[in-house]
Amino acid sequence: MNVGAGRRFRSPKAILFDLDGTLVDSAPDITAAVNELLAGRDLPPLRLEQVRAMIGGGVRKLIERAFAASGAPLLGSALDEANRVMAPIYRRHLTGLTRLMPGVREVLTHFHLSGIAMGVVTNKPQLAAREILLHFGLTEHLGAIVGGDAVTCLKPAPDALLLALDQLQVEPRDTLMVGDSGADVAAARAAGMPVILLRGGYTQTPVEELGADLVCDSLLDLPSAMLQDAT
């Protein structure tokens, strides 16, 4: 863990969490969905590690990257069409192979008992995000779940974070963003919020190089990192 900012995370009124690579390891399900889409076009499957590196920019970006990596890049209306075909496939691969990241349940309960409001802000479609969170019984403590299709601009734009804060009735300066990618950092910066990144997510760039205020090994380190930040 490396502490950088000093007092920025002390007693936030709300925490916004990214979903893929932060609260859940969804890469195996997303890989299954991508490979079903590719198989429908007679393209060979991609490996889990390849698809992991494509997650975080929303489903359309995922499809664009997957077809490019398969040597059959899609543009414009062809990408729109693949996106339409992907929608029902993606919905069939939400929870079968997806697992919670370590400590999620404990840490969400801890923050809830500490009186901190929480929300999820993801580039995943909103209904898909809600279904995953319901599957794992995590919606109880979440006052906002904002998906990429609920806003005009996906992360790294701040739109989804600001919508979640609106729903939670909290100002950006009283909030903390927790994520796994450069998009999470950029979105938090644009929204005027401090940001913590977790190791073990889907970013290709080393997390230390993404400009977060703090990097933690896992969600389980968050409560103590926030306490240390008081010193």
Ligand X SMILES: O=C(O)COP(=O)(O)O
- Number of C-alpha atoms within 13 angstroms, CB side, residue 172? 15
Tell me whether strands 14-17 and 117-121 are parallel, antiparallel or unpaired: parallel
Instruction: Cite the active site residues.
Output: 18
Binding span for ligand X by CB under 6 A among 2-10, 120-128, 163-171, 215-223 = 120-128
Output the smallest distance, CB 228 to ligand X, in A.
26
When asked if residue 98 is in the footprint of ligand X (CB under 6 A), the reply is: no
Binding mask 49-78 for ligand X (x = CB under 6 A): ------xxxxx-------------------
Report how far residue 79's alpha carbon sits from residue 194's, in angstroms, rounded to the nearest whole number.
Answer: 35
Binding span for ligand X by CB under 6 A among 16-24, 37-45, 97-105, 208-216 = 16-24
Output the smallest distance, CB 145 to Mg ion, in A.
14
Which of 119/229 has CB closer to ligand X? Answer: 119
- Number of C-alpha atoms within 13 angstroms, CB side, residue 132? 32
Which of 180/229 has CB closer to ligand X? Answer: 180
Report how far residue 50's alpha carbon sits from residue 48's, in angstroms, rounded to the nearest whole number.
Answer: 5
Q: Is 174 known to sit in a ligand binding site? A: no
Residue from 52, 65, 93, 124 in contact with ligand X (CB under 6 A): 124
Which residue shows structure tokens 């494509």? 54
Query: How many residues bind to ligand X according to rule CB under 6 A?
Result: 13
User: Contact positions toward Mg ion, by CB under 5 A?
Assistant: 18, 20-21, 56, 180-181
Q: Is 221 known to sit in a ligand binding site? A: no
Residue from 123, 176, 178, 194 in contact with ligand X (CB under 6 A): 123
List Cβ<8 Å contacts ≥24 apart for 108-114.
Answer: 108/138, 108/141, 108/142, 109/141, 110/223, 111/15, 111/141, 111/223, 112/141
When CB distances are held under 5 to 8 angstroms depending on the partner's kind, the choice from Mg ion, ligand X, none that residue 200 binds is none
Contact residues for 35 (Cβ-Cβ < 8 A; gap 6+): 45, 46
Q: Is 180 known to sit in a ligand binding site? A: yes
- Number of C-alpha atoms within 13 angstroms, CB side, residue 69? 20
- The binding site for Mg(2+) comprises 18, 20, 180
List contacts with ligand X (CB under 6 A): 18-21, 55-59, 122-124, 155
